[in-house]
Structure 1
Amino acid sequence: MKKDQVHYLFFPVIYFILVTGDQFFSSSDIKWGENLSLMLLSFVVLYLVLLFINWAEIPYDWGKKDK
């Protein structure tokens, strides 16, 4: 992953803080398991998407010989 893409991984943390804060200040119960699992799932998906994007940017060397 490129260094300038690391800040994208803060978005799941911000989501977790905002959703948990909303549940805290509203009259509903805080769903810790759901909030944490969505944050972790979004970490994994975001990491894989960034990994795929970086992999797709590398050009293939069509002129090399197969050995």
Structure 2
Amino acid sequence: MFKKSIRYPLIYFIVSIIYQLVIHQEVRWIENLFICSAMFMIYMLYYWAEIPYEWKKRSDES
């Protein structure tokens, strides 16, 4: 779950740094880190929500 949710934010972070260096010659570190961490949290929540609940299966077996 962690590997899946870190991939896209890390790619965004690297691409945005390269883009800002080439186009603007200065990097907005705080903005990039905030967006990257927000993307990570959203992806982590998304992958966590996909995991099915096991409590229903356990109560049916009893």
Q: Same fold (TM over 0.5)?
A: yes
| TM-score (structure 2 length as normaliser) | 0.74
Task: Work out the CA distance in 1 between the residues paired with 2:10 and 2:3.
Answer: 13
- Choose between structure 1 and 2 for higher RCO, CA contacts under 8 A separated by at least 6 residues: 2
Question: Which 5+ residue runs of structure 2 have no aligned equivalent?
Answer: none
Structure with greater proportional helix content: 2
Q: Where in structure 2 are the equivalents of 1:19-38 lying within 5 Å?
A: 19-27=16-24, 29-38=26-35
Using the TM superposition, give the Cα deviation of residue 14 of structure 1 relative to its aligned residue in structure 2, in angstroms. 0.7
Question: Which of these residues, 13, 18, 24, is aligned with residue 16 of structure 1?
Answer: 13
* Residue identity matched to 2:34: S
RMSD: 2.3
Partner of 1:46: 43
What is the Cα deviation at residue 13 of structure 1?
Answer: 0.5
Which 4+ stretches in 1 moved above 6 angstroms? none
Number of residue pairs the alignment of both structures matches: 60
The percentage of aligned residue pairs carrying the same residue is: 22
Q: Partners of 1:40 and 1:15 in 2: how far apart?
A: 11
Alpha-carbon distance, 1:28 to partner: 5.1
